[in-house]
A and B are shown apart, each in its own frame.
Chain A
Amino acid sequence: MAERAQPLGATGAIGIAAAAAIPVLILLATVAIIRVAEPGNGLTQADWAAIRFTLWQAFLSATFSVALAVPVARALARRRFPGRGALVTLLGAPFLLPVIVAIFGLLAVFGRGGLVNAGLGMLGLPQISIYGLHGVLLAHVFFNLPLATRLILQGWQEIPSERFRLAASLGMDASAVNRHLEWPMLRQVMPGTALVIFVICTMSFAVALTLGGGPRATTVELAIYQALRFEFDLDRAAFLSLIQLAITVFLALLAYRVLRHPGFAPGLDRPLMRWDGRTPALRLLDGVLILFAALFLLVPIASALVRGLPEVIGLPQAVWVSAIRSLCVAGASTVIVVALSVVMALAATRLKSQGGWIETAGLTALAASPLVLGTGLFVLIHPVANPEALALPVTALVNAFVTLPFALRSLVPACRAIESEYGRLADSLDLQGWARLWLVVLPRLRRPLGFSAGLAAALSMGDLGVIALFADPDTATLPLQVYRLMGAYRMEEAGGAAVLLLALSFGVFWMLDRGARRADA
């Protein structure tokens, strides 16, 4: 059936304006760089090799992350066990880790002196090396499996429980449930999830180089860094960033064309019980999957914790002050993300099949090189104001932009579902504007919104972002302090500060995500 043309409304208009502002700001920043650039030498062969490697590893990382996330999410969706909720939240932790902490956590497990090699050594087996493309993929899957699992699990939770009841009453087995209920949902959820992960991985810099084992693993972001810092070839940096952006936009539009509205009718919020998959074999399979995912994701974090925890108490005051500063930045980012993502998700819902543009606009924030964005903002701000003075507000804003795509990926499908389930009822009751937002949209959006807000807060806590470019000695954020401690040989204290960072990031995520889920129960 055809759709009735819907009025956009004030929220929709604001959403579209916000969505448009992001690419506009990015282009402004890029143009600002090109304007001050002296004519450069153009792209080298090495740059093209970096582009190829970047796309290839990002493609593989996204594929593996999503392919592994599906069985893990399914296992979590159809099992109930004590502590399941806590585990689901905990499994999100790697995504929130600052890159440097994650690298050292992974090395503690898979490195030359790590647990795995120690185990192999005891068994007299040959050692494994983490360095190479496989190491890059391992790290990217470690980072992104949690995100993929959460987004896919959310898809499962949006299948109305009545559908599973119906399936149960029809005596469907696991494979029939898969075919009739799960596969249609996955077809909706997987492309968008893979896309977001692909884009994150194209930004990889430290992980790819460090675990890639050498200059073979050169990414575009490293080429940009080199162009900006060592060669001052601004043209080349801007051009590389634009290529990256163009590829992302192209893929995003392709992906959102593939995505269609989920055809699920709504449910009545009954707790989900599953009757399929009660065979012992499937139970065992799910149990093993959950166990392996938990070990893979949590052991590296645990090792970082074990090492850093004793240092936390003795951390210098400067570190604690930065921690508070980081919390403030995270708070500001979260407010911006929540406001922006809700109006943008509503606009995307109103625009129906054209809504992919909104998400694509959001994705550009993630696809633009942070180095180029930061440098561009610097060029823009420098003539008008002291960039150091604006360090924290700019950081909060940029961190918010960077988190926006995750929030949108979570909110847009939820908003669409609300519209398809309750849109007509709300229309017929003349629930519009603020009342509709307050009575219908926000309460039904609580879960994904809590998740998004938690993600925004945590990522903003841990993100080094543009702060490094604007840094003022007196406004160092916690991640910057971790790097400063490392730069001053104080690796142990850095480990302690990293644990503090991890605890705070995860704490705010837990508070917002679990808080929203509990309130929903």
Chain B
Amino acid sequence: MRIPCLGAGLVLAAGAATAGDLPELTVITYDSFVSDWGPGPAVEAAFEETCKCDLNFVAAGDGAALLARVKLEGKRSEVDIVLGIDTNLTAEAAATGLFAPHGGTVAGLDVPVAWEDRTFLPYDWGYFAFVHDTSLERVPQSFEELADSDVSIVIQDPRSSTPGLGLLLWVKAAYGDRAMEIWSALADNVVTVTPGWSEAYGMFLEGEADMVLSYTTSPAYHLIAEGDASKAAAPFAEGHYMQVEVAGKLASTDQPELADRFLAFMLTDAFQAVIPTTNWMYPAAIPDGGLPDGFETLIQPAKPLLLSAAEARAARGPALDEWLNALSR
């Protein structure tokens, strides 16, 4: 009983006591990464075993909040590494001038697209997909089929959620100038738009919609963690937009060497093996042991879609206006 209470009152004192003599590496990431059910605890333990340092995670909401937070702190930041923004936001992040080149090698990455970014390194990735219950009859095989059907979907708002933004760019990448038309046709399939992924996924599980925007890897959670094979992702003919999650080193870091070591560690088995069953994404460098059993059941999109960081940044504003116009009618 007393420990958390004391903690509430005396965090300052407690904070001072933990660091000791070890160099400290501060990694800021999104909240679900550091939660007890995310990769954070295992990653921290594994890295501290070898680094002779104190790895300190700081959580800041979701991927977008993360970048906002780094901007807010600016050059005075005590953060060394930013982990968890996706490629839709890396152009934005690079433009701040706060990041330093990673200087590492990008050979041996198992990401379906060529990786040329010198600032950010990917650590995991996934395909966005509409997830449904296997009892759903006539699963739509494309956005157009979905729009023509009376299948209901729940999606996330691109203004407040990174999957929502991913869907926006998915439609843009697949349909270009026809995106507005697709959104208008989809409008009557959209049951509602949620602020974040959790609400949408929860509503789908409660039966509020036939499909939910999530990832091709989502069914793996139900299969592996719950032994439930009733969820599947619908393969779309247009291809599937990717979410590639990356990490980068801040130029202002006082531990540049340690930061480089962390980025290198990030692509080793100790880190990568944790990703599939905690973050429920594909590891950016498949570990020696391969993917966990169950991942082989997942659909493999024939056509990966991904706008470059610069394209994504340019497309966001106009695509958002189209989306708002189509769905506000």
Complex A–B touching at CB under 8 A: yes
Q: Nearest Cβ distance between residue B12 and chain A, in whole angstroms? A: 5
- For A388, the chain B residues whose CB sits under 8 A away are 15, 58
**CA separation between A487 and B221, bound complex, in Å?**
12
Q: Nearest Cβ distance between residue B279 and chain A, in whole angstroms? A: 9
**B119 within 8 Å of A (CB atoms):** no
- Decide if B208 touches A113 in the complex (CB within 8 Å): yes
Within 8 A of A (CB), among B165-201: 165, 187, 190-195, 197-199, 201
Within 8 A of B (CB), among A365-387: 375, 378-379, 382-383, 385-386
**B115 within 8 Å of A (CB atoms):** no
**B292 within 8 Å of A (CB atoms):** no
- Decide if A112 touches B207 in the complex (CB within 8 Å): yes
- Decide if A469 touches B191 in the complex (CB within 8 Å): no
- Contacting residue for A487 out of B7, B12, B157, B197, CB 8 A: B197
- For B243, the chain A residues whose CB sits under 8 A away are none
Q: A476-B35, A484-B36 are in contact. Are A489 and B193 (CB under 8 A)?
A: no
- Decide if A324 touches B72 in the complex (CB within 8 Å): no
A219-241 to B contact mask, C-beta < 8 Å, 1/0: 00011011011101000000000
- Decide if A230 touches B199 in the complex (CB within 8 Å): no
- Decide if A325 touches B8 in the complex (CB within 8 Å): yes
- For A484, the chain B residues whose CB sits under 8 A away are 31-32, 35-38
**A419 within 8 Å of B (CB atoms):** no
- Contacting residue for A222 out of B11, B69, B157, CB 8 A: B157
Q: Nearest Cβ distance between residue A303 and chain B, in whole angstroms? A: 10
- Decide if A318 touches B323 in the complex (CB within 8 Å): no
Interface size in chain A (residues, C-beta < 8 A): 72
Stretch of B59-67, B105-113, B251-259 at the chain-chain interface: B59-67
**A503 within 8 Å of B (CB atoms):** no
- Contacting residue for A328 out of B5, B61, B323, CB 8 A: B5
Within 8 A of B (CB), among A304-338: 316, 318, 321-322, 324-325, 328-329, 332
- Decide if B59 touches A471 in the complex (CB within 8 Å): yes
Q: Nearest Cβ distance between residue B42 and chain A, in whole angstroms? A: 13
Q: Nearest Cβ distance between residue A42 and chain B, in whole angstroms? A: 15
Which of B67, B202, B323 has the most C-beta atoms of chain A within 10 angstroms of its own C-beta? B202
- Decide if A488 touches B324 in the complex (CB within 8 Å): no
- Decide if B8 touches A329 in the complex (CB within 8 Å): yes
A190-223 to B contact mask, C-beta < 8 Å, 1/0: 0000000000000001100111111110000011
**A55 within 8 Å of B (CB atoms):** no
**A46 within 8 Å of B (CB atoms):** yes
**A82 within 8 Å of B (CB atoms):** no
**CA separation between A487 and B59, bound complex, in Å?**
14
Closest to B89 in A: A230
Closest to A317 in B: B36
**CA separation between A107 and B194, bound complex, in Å?**
14
- Contacting residue for B159 out of A131, A226, A474, CB 8 A: A226
- Decide if A222 touches B37 in the complex (CB within 8 Å): no
Counting chain B residues whose Cβ lies within 8 A of the other chain, the interface size class is 35 or more
**CA separation between A332 and B35, bound complex, in Å?**
25
**CA separation between A379 and B68, bound complex, in Å?**
12
Q: Nearest Cβ distance between residue B317 and chain A, in whole angstroms? A: 9
Which of B67, B193, B324, B327 has the most C-beta atoms of chain A within 10 angstroms of its own C-beta? B193
- Decide if B72 touches A107 in the complex (CB within 8 Å): no
Q: Nearest Cβ distance between residue A319 and chain B, in whole angstroms? A: 8
- Decide if B194 touches A392 in the complex (CB within 8 Å): no
Q: A469-B61, A471-B59 are in contact. Are A328 and B193 (CB under 8 A)?
A: no
**CA separation between A63 and B202, bound complex, in Å?**
31
- For A490, the chain B residues whose CB sits under 8 A away are 37
**A83 within 8 Å of B (CB atoms):** no
Q: A328-B8, A389-B15 are in contact. Are A216 and B327 (CB under 8 A)?
A: yes
**B71 within 8 Å of A (CB atoms):** yes
**A168 within 8 Å of B (CB atoms):** no
- Decide if A104 touches B206 in the complex (CB within 8 Å): yes
**B57 within 8 Å of A (CB atoms):** yes
- Decide if B201 touches A491 in the complex (CB within 8 Å): yes
**B295 within 8 Å of A (CB atoms):** no
- Decide if A468 touches B31 in the complex (CB within 8 Å): yes
**B114 within 8 Å of A (CB atoms):** no
- Decide if A389 touches B36 in the complex (CB within 8 Å): no
- Decide if A214 touches B193 in the complex (CB within 8 Å): yes
- Contacting residue for B203 out of A107, A223, A322, A391, CB 8 A: A107
- Decide if B159 touches A225 in the complex (CB within 8 Å): yes
**CA separation between A327 and B38, bound complex, in Å?**
25
Q: A226-B160, A391-B11, A489-B280 are in contact. Are A473 and B35 (CB under 8 A)?
A: yes
- Decide if A489 touches B225 in the complex (CB within 8 Å): yes
Q: A108-B206, A383-B76 are in contact. Are A215 and B35 (CB under 8 A)?
A: no
- Decide if A213 touches B192 in the complex (CB within 8 Å): yes
- Decide if B159 touches A230 in the complex (CB within 8 Å): yes
- Decide if A468 touches B61 in the complex (CB within 8 Å): yes
- Contacting residue for A111 out of B61, B69, B206, CB 8 A: B206
**A36 within 8 Å of B (CB atoms):** yes
Within 8 A of A (CB), among B68-95: 68-69, 71-74, 76, 78, 92
Q: Nearest Cβ distance between residue A89 and chain B, in whole angstroms? A: 26
Q: Nearest Cβ distance between residue A341 and chain B, in whole angstroms? A: 22
**A475 within 8 Å of B (CB atoms):** yes
A463-489 to B contact mask, C-beta < 8 Å, 1/0: 000001101111110001101111111
Q: A112-B207, A112-B209, A491-B205 are in contact. List 17 more A-B contacts (CB 8 A).
A: A36-B72, A36-B74, A103-B199, A104-B203, A104-B206, A107-B208, A214-B193, A232-B71, A318-B36, A321-B4, A378-B69, A382-B76, A386-B78, A388-B58, A469-B61, A469-B69, A471-B60
Q: Which residues of B contact A (CB under 8 A)?
A: 1, 4-5, 7-9, 11-12, 15, 31-32, 34-38, 40, 57-62, 64-65, 67-69, 71-74, 76, 78, 92, 152, 157, 159-160, 165, 187, 190-195, 197-199, 201-203, 205-209, 218, 221-222, 225, 278, 280, 323-324, 327-328
A–B Cβ pairs within 8 angstroms, 20 of them: A111-B203, A112-B191, A131-B192, A206-B194, A210-B193, A213-B190, A214-B193, A214-B327, A225-B159, A322-B4, A325-B7, A328-B4, A329-B8, A379-B72, A386-B15, A388-B15, A469-B69, A484-B32, A486-B199, A489-B218
The 10 closest A-B pairs by CB, nearest first: A113-B207, A488-B37, A484-B35, A486-B198, A487-B32, A226-B159, A473-B34, A325-B4, A229-B64, A318-B36
